[in-house]
Amino acid sequence: MTLRRLGLMPSTFLVMALSFVISFLSLLGQLRPWPATLPQGLLSLDIADELHYGPNATARFSIDYGRLTEAAPAAVLYPSSPDDIAALVRFSYASPRPFVIAARGHGHSTRGQAFAPGGVVVDMASLGRGRRAGRRDRINVPLDDVHRLRYVDAGGEQLWIDVLRETLEHGVAPRSWTDYLYLTVGGTLSNAGISGQAFRHGPQISNVHELDVITGKGDMVTCSRDVNSDLFYGVLGGLGQLGIITRARIAVEPAPQRVRWVRFIYTDFGSFINDQELLISISEEGFDYVEGQLLMKNGAANSSFFSEGDSEKIRVLAAEFGAIYFLEGAIYYELATASSVDQKLKLLLKKLSFVPGFAFTKDVSYLRFLDRVHRDEIKLRPMGLWDVPHPWLNLFVPKSRMRDFETGIFRGILIENDTPMATVLISPMNKSKWDEKMSVTIPDEDIFYAIGILRSATMDDRKHLDDQNDQILRFCDQAGIEFKQYLPHYTTQADWKKHFGVKWDRFVQLKRRYDPKALLSPGQRIFTTSL
Minimum CB–partner distance for residue 203 and ligand FAD (Å): 7
The CA angle 176-182-187, to the nearest 5 degrees, is 70
Minimum CB–partner distance for residue 19 and ligand FAD (Å): 28
Residues 189, 251: Cα–Cα separation, whole Å = 13
Residues 183, 188: Cα–Cα separation, whole Å = 7
Angle between helices 493-500 and 504-514 (to 10 degrees): 110
Residues 276, 278: Cα–Cα separation, whole Å = 5
Edge-to-edge strand order for the sheet containing 120-123?
A: 51-53, 75-77, 120-123, 101-104
Minimum CB–partner distance for residue 152 and ligand FAD (Å): 16
Minimum CB–partner distance for residue 126 and ligand FAD (Å): 12
Minimum CB–partner distance for residue 300 and ligand FAD (Å): 21
291: annotated active-site residue: yes
Minimum CB–partner distance for residue 225 and ligand FAD (Å): 19
Q: Which positions lie near ligand FAD, rule CB under 6 A?
A: 65, 102-109, 113-114, 124, 156, 178-180, 183-184, 186-188, 190-195, 239-240, 244-245, 487, 521, 523-524
Q: Smaller CB distance to ligand FAD: residue 126 or 178?
A: 178
Q: Smaller CB distance to ligand FAD: residue 348 or 426?
A: 426
Q: Where are the beta strands (DSSP E) in 172-257?
A: 172-174, 208-215, 220-224, 243-254
Q: Smaller CB distance to ligand FAD: residue 109 or 468?
A: 109
Q: Smaller CB distance to ligand FAD: residue 180 or 289?
A: 180
Minimum CB–partner distance for residue 192 and ligand FAD (Å): 6
Q: Count CB-CB contacts under 10 A for residue 220.
A: 17
Minimum CB–partner distance for residue 185 and ligand FAD (Å): 7
- What are the b/e assignments for 97-117, b being 16+ CB within 10 Å? ebbbbbbbbbbbbbbbbbbbb
Q: Measured between alpha carbons, how far is residue 93 from residues 88, 101, 403, 528 in Å?
A: 9, 10, 49, 15
Q: Which amino acid is at 112?
A: G
The CA angle 330-110-446, to the nearest 5 degrees, is 45
The SS3 call for residue 512 is helix
Which of 108, 201, 390, 489 is flagged as catalytic?
Answer: 108
The answer to whether 66 touches 523, Cβ cutoff 8 Å, is no
Q: Smaller CB distance to ligand FAD: residue 179 or 435?
A: 179
The SS3 call for residue 122 is strand
Which of 275, 291, 371, 515 is flagged as catalytic?
Answer: 291
Minimum CB–partner distance for residue 481 and ligand FAD (Å): 21
Q: Smaller CB distance to ligand FAD: residue 240 or 428?
A: 240
First to last CA, the chain: 64
Name the residue among 196, 183, 179 with its Cα closest to residue 375. Answer: 179
Q: Smaller CB distance to ligand FAD: residue 194 or 294?
A: 194
Q: Smaller CB distance to ligand FAD: residue 476 or 487?
A: 487
The SS3 call for residue 89 is helix
Edge-to-edge strand order for the sheet containing 393-398?
A: 359-365, 258-266, 323-333, 289-296, 422-430, 447-455, 393-398, 484-486
Which of 49, 179, 219, 310 is flagged as catalytic?
Answer: 179
Q: Smaller CB distance to ligand FAD: residue 167 or 178?
A: 178
In terms of Cβ atoms closer than 10 Å to its own Cβ (0-12, 13-18, 19+), residue 364 is middle
Q: What share of the chain is helix, strand, coil (3-state, %, to 5)?
A: 40, 20, 40
The SS3 call for residue 174 is strand
Name the residue among 66, 87, 64, 68 with its Cα closest to residue 77. Answer: 87
Residues 520, 103: Cα–Cα separation, whole Å = 8
390: annotated active-site residue: no
Q: Which residues are catalytic?
A: 108, 179, 291
